[in-house]
Chain A
Amino acid sequence: MSKKIGVIIFPGSNCDHDAYHAMKSVMGAETEFLWHKESDLSGIDLLLIPGGFSYGDYLRSGAIARFSPIMNAVVDFAKKGGPVMGICNGFQILLEAGLLPGAMLHNEKLRFICKDVHVRVERSDSIFTSRLSKGDVLRLPVSHGEGNYFIDDAGLDSLKQNDQVLFRYTDAEGKITEDSNINGSVDSIAGIVNRQGNVLGMMPHPERAMEKTLGSEDGKVLFESLFSELQIA
Chain B
Amino acid sequence: MYKAKVNITLRKSILDPKGKAANHALQNLGLTAVDDVRIGKFIEIDIDAESEEKAHEVAEASCKQLLANEVMEDYSITIEEYSPELK
Residues of A within 8 A of B (CB): 59-60, 63-64, 67, 95-96, 101-103, 105-110, 150-152, 184
Contacts and interface: CB of A to CB of B under 8 A. Distances in A.
A67 B65 CA distance: 10
A151 B71 contact: yes
A103 B68 CA distance: 11
Interface stretch (B14-22, B25-33, B49-57, B77-85): B14-22
The 7 nearest A-B residue pairs measured at CB: A103-B71, A103-B72, A110-B17, A103-B69, A150-B72, A108-B17, A60-B69
Given A103-B72, A105-B72, A59 B17 contact: no
Contacts of B10: 105
B66 A67 contact: yes
**Chain A residues touching B, majority SS:** loop
Contact of B15 (A67, A103, A108): A108
A156 to B, nearest CB: 12
Contacts of A96: 69
Contacts of A59: 66-67
Given A60-B69, A63-B66, A105 B18 contact: no
A44 B6 CA distance: 41
A106 B17 contact: yes
Nearest to A64: B66
B68 to A, nearest CB: 9
- Interface residue tally on B, bucketed by range: 10 to 19
Contacts of A63: 66, 69
Contacts of A106: 17-18
Contacts of B21: 110
Nearest to A105: B72
Contact of A150 (B18, B66, B67, B71): B71
Contacts of B15: 108, 184
Contacts of B72: 103, 105, 150
24 contacts: A60-B69, A63-B66, A63-B69, A64-B66, A95-B71, A101-B71, A103-B69, A103-B71, A103-B72, A105-B10, A105-B17, A105-B72, A106-B17, A108-B15, A108-B17, A109-B17, A110-B17, A110-B18, A110-B21, A150-B14, A150-B71, A150-B72, A152-B71, A184-B15
Contacts of A150: 14, 71-72
Contacts of A67: 66
B35 to A, nearest CB: 21
A17 to B, nearest CB: 29
Contacts of A152: 13, 71
Contacts of A108: 15, 17
A108 B14 CA distance: 11
Nearest to B69: A103
A102 B71 contact: yes
A105 B14 contact: yes
